[in-house]
Amino acid sequence: MNILNIVGNDIELGNGIGRLIPEMIQMQNKYSEKNDSSLLLLKKQNIDFDFKYYFFDDVNLKPEFYQSFDLVIFHGVYFWDFLAIASLLKKNKIPYCIKPHSSLMRIAQKKSWLKKTIANFLFFDKFINYSNGIIYTNKDEEVNSKLYGVRKFIEANGIDFPYVDPVRDVNQYEKKKRFIYLSRIDFNHKGIDVLLDALKILHARGFSDKYEFRFYGKGSLEDERRLEQSLKEIGSPSLRFYGPCYGEEKIAAFKESDVFVLTSRYEGFPMALLEAMHQRLPCLVTPGTNISEIVANFDVGWLVDFKAEKIADGFENIIKESHAQILKKGGNARAYVLNKHDWKTLIGESEYTYQNIIQGGSS
């Protein structure tokens, strides 16, 4: 099967789609005997991959280009060029599906609500309803997303993280609990506003000398400045923003931490979370991160309500938790990632899903 993945986002290590899609295509081509996957980017970018990739400016809406593919997958929803491409695909009877990566989650729909409501009514509802299906990254994303009457599929994110097992020993833990946030600096999407309110509460409760919290990530200049100013206003020496980190620097940051924190309002399936769990970090998360079921079934961390008071309670409970218990949850986190998000295992599931979509079978 010739599969074309279409991406409107920039391909950057700092965003989830940019981190995931090139690796996914590479792993599919490496391990699949049925799939030959390619990438089409709406934006010209300075990239270099060892698989076939194209730029929209070069291929535009030439039917002969798209006719060479058995299935087209749109990653994301709200890109105007998607509409023109989808129209061409329908005319040429080329099946397409949509992998929204959290864009259709009900809470995500509340952001710029009026614009999205109008755009959905006029354009994007048709784009979705005329598709051959929606692919979600997990069941939580499907349940929490806007309802459409098309077929639905699940395709989990895989991870190929070429770093050795960071074996941890309870004796190596420091007295202070060390928390890490490593994701995009985005106050609305990632819930940093509520997270900071929780840290204010924790500071007021007198816990500043019992933990450390390190922020890593890249965002808009406005959000980064807002974060730095907010940390300064809290006035706790336990809080610090370090900016973005990648590769070995990221691994070093994970090694210097005990618990990964992500309090997003909505997510598909965060790659940073998979990376942290791969490195034996249990996670403190809110329902919007879309791993409620995983936390409950695999004991990989702590789930707290998306309220500052409840998040602060979660921090307090972890601070009082034994290092042995944190170590146990961290071991569960790594085992979960290795068992459930290994590309070799997931490729077979993707082959079945794609073939099902092409043939028009049931979801």
Domain that holds residue 331: 170-340
DSSP string, 113-157: HHHHHHHIIIIIHHHHHTSS-EEESSHHHHHTBPP-SS-EEE---
Q: What is the CATH number of the domain that holds 323?
A: 3.40.50.2000
Q: Structural domain tally of the chain?
A: 2
Question: SS3 string of 234-289?
Answer: HCCCCEEECCCCCHHHHHHHHHCCCEEEECCCCCCCCHHHHHHHHCCCCEEECHHH
* Cα–Cα dist 142/115, whole Å: 23
Write down the pLDDT at residue 14. 72
Q: CB neighbours of 282 closer than 8 A, spacing ≥ 6?
A: 259, 260, 300, 301, 302, 326, 329, 330, 332, 333
Write down the pLDDT at residue 172. 67
Hey, what are 52's tokens? Answer: 């076939």
Write down the pLDDT at residue 186. 95
Write down the pLDDT at residue 163. 86
Q: Within this chain, do residues 277 and 346 fall inside the same structural domain, yes or no?
A: no
Write down the pLDDT at residue 204. 95
Instruction: Output the CA torsion sign for 54, 55, 58, 63.
Output: positive
Q: Within this chain, do residues 242 and 96 fall inside the same structural domain, yes or no?
A: no
Q: Within this chain, do residues 347 and 330 fall inside the same structural domain, yes or no?
A: no
CB 176 within 8 A of CB 242: no
Q: Within this chain, do residues 321 and 178 fall inside the same structural domain, yes or no?
A: yes
Q: Within this chain, do residues 93 and 21 fall inside the same structural domain, yes or no?
A: yes
Q: Within this chain, do residues 309 and 321 fall inside the same structural domain, yes or no?
A: yes
Q: Within this chain, do residues 46 and 141 fall inside the same structural domain, yes or no?
A: yes
**Spans in the chain with pLDDT lower than 70:** 171-172, 361-363
Write down the pLDDT at residue 362. 46
Write down the pLDDT at residue 251. 95
- Indicate the helix (H) or strand (E) that contains 313: helix 308-320
pTM of the model: 0.91
- Kindly report the CA angle at 333 between 328 and 338, in degrees rounded to 5? 125
Tens of pLDDT, residue by residue over 327-352, are: 999 999 999 999 999 999 899 999 99
C-alpha to C-alpha distances, 58 to 22, 61, 135, 240, nearest whole angstrom: 20, 9, 27, 45
Query: Within 10 Å of residue 37's Cβ, how many Cβ atoms?
Result: 24
Write down the pLDDT at residue 363. 45
CB 311 within 8 A of CB 263: yes
Write down the pLDDT at residue 361. 52
Write down the pLDDT at residue 268. 85
